[in-house]
Amino acid sequence: MSGSTKPDSATRARTTLAIANSIFEGSAGDSLQLFDGRDLSAEPKVSLLIRHGKAASDAGGTEILTIPIKSFAVPSYVSALEARGPRKLPIDARKVWGPRTESEDLTLTLPVGWKAKLPASDTAMSVFGSYVSEYTQKGQVLYIARRVTGAEGVQPASKNDELLAWLKKMSADDAKYVILEH
C-alpha cells in the first residue's frame, strides 16, 4: 500500500480479513475504518466489525474467552524500579508513559442466555497519568475497555512511591480471560 494513495478494494479486503483473523481465528471482517495516516492531526484509530470467528474455547460446560485487547500491565518495569532502591533524582513524567493516550476496547455480542464472569473494573490516578479499565455486560453485549493517559511535568524524587503505586495498580488489571457460562 502506498503512503500517498488509499488502498484499493482488494487490498482493503485482505487487510480486513487479516485484522479479523488476528483477533479471532476463522472470522470474517466488515466495515473496516482506518484513520488517514497522512493527516498528522487525525486520531490514530482502527475499527472493525468481526463476525463468525471462534472467540471462546470450550472448557466442559463453560467457555473461556481470551481477551483480545492489550493489557497495560508493566510488572517488569515495577520490579526494575523497585530494585534500584530510593530515588535521588527528579522524575520526568514524559518518560514514564509519555503525553499520550492509548485505549483499546472490545464490544462483543454473546449468544442469548450467556453470562460473563467479569473482573472488577478499576481506576488508577496519579500525577504520572490515569488508567481506567471497564468490564461490563448489558444483555447480550459484553464490553471490555482499557485506557491509559500519560502526563507531563517533572516530579520530585519524593513522588517515586506514588509512581510505583500507580504502576502497580495499573498492573493489577492483568486479566487475560473471561469465563462465559451458558
CATH top-level class of 56-181? mainly beta
Does the pTM exceed 0.85?
A: no
| E strands, the chain, in order | 28-34, 46-51, 56-58, 62-66, 91-92, 101-109, 115-117, 122-126, 129-138, 141-150, 154-155, 177-181
Residue pLDDT tens, the chain, 182 long:
445 567 777 877 888 888 877 787 888 887 888 777 788 888 877 777 787 778 888 888 889 999 988 888 889 989 999 999 899 999 999 999 999 999 999 999 999 999 999 999 999 999 999 999 999 999 999 999 999 999 999 999 999 999 999 999 999 999 999 999 98
The domain spans of the chain are 1-54, 56-181
